[in-house]
Amino acid sequence: MSKMTMVQALNLALQQEMAKDDRVVLLGEDVGVDGGVFRVTDGLIDRFGEERVLDTPLAESGIAGMSIGMAVYGLRPVCEMQFSGFSYQAFHQIENHAARLRWRSQGRLSVPMVLRAPYGGGVRALEHHSESREAYYAHTPGLKMVIPSGPRNARALLVSAIRDPDPVIFFEAKAVYRAYREEVPEEEEILPIGQSRKIREGQDLTMVTYGAMVRPTLAAAEELSRKDGIEADVIDLLTVAPLDDSLFTASARQTGRVMIVHEAPRSFGPGAEIIARLVEKSFYYLEVPIARVTGYDVVTPLFSREQHYIPHGGRVREAARKLLGDGLGGNP
């Protein structure tokens, strides 16, 4: 195993899948000569050539549309949006064509493509570079919405996404890109799409999170253990759609207290669907109302106010103590 950042692990996944399958092609703005705005595709054009690593014009609808056509005709395109906020320009192509072609053709056509996009804040960028709008895609039938939380699971999930027969939206947390290194095996490793993981065991509280919020949530759980004696189950969703509710609903039946942590705005965010599943499957086991620690219902602020917007360990710990105290976690 080698210790890698998320950027390096994603590059490894692309490199190995391109070497294994000639149908895998990359396209996007600056993915070739420059290696992508965050260098995820660095060096791939040198190894695989301009026919398989395509620098495109600044036209997100064109990038998505071309990827759909490639996929329908037998290729496995991996297209990159420089930032998730730029993908709105391609939403017609994604929602009206990529997501619907299998249904529209009654199964005769499929769209095995991946749309990669850096998402979220924490890197002092502008508003369209810092948003967390995964709910748009998770709400769209026909799409899968994957959000890894670290180098190793990012590599394994990207391999699964490339091999998937249907379109996968693959969000990558910019704040995690180079935040830390993790052991990543050289040999092939995959994780099933649509399967969550428990990354910490506890009996007092259930914490449900994903993406960039996994590390601060896990750190908050460890501090709560040291300082307060509170032991939390921590669930990393890994995939927002299809949503695997098996682990967090089972955990809620054991702990009776649940907190959801995500960077996306509070209203109509992924946390709302998680709460709905908990009410449907674990309601009679809940001892207090479910708490959400989320972004706020405003446009993502510029970097001078960014850290007030993004959920952090202090907000998570405060909500946890309230859940174990007066039972009103709220949205600190």
Cα 307 to the center of its chain, rounded Å: 20
Rounded to 5 degrees, φ, ψ at 248 are -75, -30
DSSP code per residue over 186-246: SS-----TT--EEEE--SSEEEEE-GGGHHHHHHHHHHHHHHH---EEEEE-SEEETT--H
Between the alpha carbon of residue 283 and those of residues 11, 141, 279, 280, 323, the distances in Å are: 43, 27, 4, 6, 16
- How far, in Å, CA of 83 to CA of 171, rounded? 9
- Return the active site residues: 129
CB neighbours of 125 closer than 8 A, spacing ≥ 6?
A: 83, 174, 303
Question: H or E stretch including 265?
Answer: strand 258-265
* Among the listed residues 249, 235, 233, the one whose alpha carbon sits nearest the alpha carbon of residue 201: 233
